[in-house]
């Protein structure tokens, strides 16, 4: 009986020890998955969100959303070394190390998706799966400034939406129409002397000379020909 009791006690202690180790290991794994502690140790912090690895290659620390328990959403940390350059139907990948000038790099702040250095302007195309740093082709870093709507920016020649110049816009005759809701500074439309643009695209059939935003109606904008709901769609 004594031997049986001793065996039970030893088994209970062993079971408790294994269970405790398993719980501890699970917590460590979840923490490592969320923060990527092991990967972080491979990089040396340089400036802001920029790091270098042991070979001197430049990386940017980023995050994307991953599902947690219940309705919780966790952030997964990762490191990206690429800048994307888009032209026509071609996307070129280049290394951060050969494109970005860290000594003059600056974030504009204020929630905008744009940043710049002495040579280029950049746009962070963010999504739940992470974000991609785009080089804003044709943007002048000396005159570029972000607009109050975080998706837009402008320099002395172009207005940019999501990192791309709005094609066909007469810059010298442009007018920015901000939403009439005074609680935010989002851009509804941009017009010039001939064309109305919504999110960088032409609103087909819209008359730029008479186009205006309206309040208190079932539609949000109108011209001499049509009424428009949100997104530049005609109100029927």
Mark whether 140 and 44 lie in a shared domain.
yes
Measured torsion, CA atoms of residues 161, 166, 169, 175, in degrees rounded to the nearest 10? 0
CA 178 remoteness from chain centre: 22
Per-residue pLDDT of the chain (236 residues; tens, 9 = 90+): 444 334 333 333 333 333 333 333 222 222 222 334 455 567 899 999 999 988 899 999 988 776 666 666 677 888 899 999 987 788 899 999 999 999 999 999 888 999 999 999 999 987 766 789 999 999 999 999 999 999 999 999 999 999 999 999 999 999 999 999 777 789 999 999 999 999 999 999 999 999 999 999 999 999 999 999 988 999 98
pLDDT tens digit sequence for 201-213: 999 999 999 999 9
CA 159 remoteness from chain centre: 18
Mark whether 150 and 171 lie in a shared domain.
no
Mark whether 157 and 47 lie in a shared domain.
yes
Mark whether 41 and 17 lie in a shared domain.
no
This prediction has a pTM of 0.78
Mark whether 44 and 161 lie in a shared domain.
yes
CB 86 within 8 A of CB 164: yes
Residue 95 phi/psi, 5-degree rounding, is -75, 140
Domain enclosing residue 199, as ranges? 167-236
Mark whether 81 and 118 lie in a shared domain.
yes
DSSP string, 158-201: -EEETTEE-TT--GGG-EEEE-S-TT---EEEEE-SS-EEETTE
- Whole-angstrom distance between the N-terminal and C-terminal Cα of the chain? 89
Final residue belonging to a domain, choices 165, 190, 208: 165
Q: How many domains does the chain have?
A: 3
Final residue belonging to a domain, choices 137, 165, 193: 165
DSSP string, 33-92: HHH-HHHHTT-EEEETTEEE-TT--EEEEEEEEEE-STT-EEEEEEEE-EEEEEETTEEE
């Amino acid at each position: 009986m004594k031997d049986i009791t001793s065996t039970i006690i030893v088994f209970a202690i062993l079971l408790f020890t294994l269970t405790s180790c398993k719980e501890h290991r699970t917590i460590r794994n979840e923490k490592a998955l969320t923060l990527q502690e092991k990967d972080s140790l491979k990089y040396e912090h340089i400036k802001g969100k920029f790091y270098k690895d042991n070979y001197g290659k430049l990386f940017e620390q980023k995050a994307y959303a991953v599902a947690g328990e219940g309705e919780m959403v966790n952030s997964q940390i990762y490191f990206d070394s690429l800048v994307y350059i888009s032209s026509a139907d071609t996307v070129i990948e280049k290394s951060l190390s050969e494109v970005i000038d860290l000594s003059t790099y600056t974030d504009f702040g204020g929630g905008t998706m744009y940043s710049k250095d002495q040579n280029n302007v950049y746009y962070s195309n963010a999504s739940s799966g992470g974000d991609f740093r785009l080089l804003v082709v044709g943007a002048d870093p000396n005159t570029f400034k972000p607009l109050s709507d975080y998706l837009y920016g402008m320099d002395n020649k172009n207005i940019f939406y999501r990192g791309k110049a709005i094609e066909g816009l007469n810059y010298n005759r442009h007018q920015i129409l901000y939403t009439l809701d005074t609680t935010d500074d989002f851009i509804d439309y941009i017009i010039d002397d001939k064309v109305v643009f919504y999110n960088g695209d032409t609103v087909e059939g819209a008359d730029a000379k008479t186009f205006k935003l309206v309040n208190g109606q079932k539609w949000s904008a109108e011209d001499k020909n049509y009424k428009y709901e949100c997104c530049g769609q005609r109100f029927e």
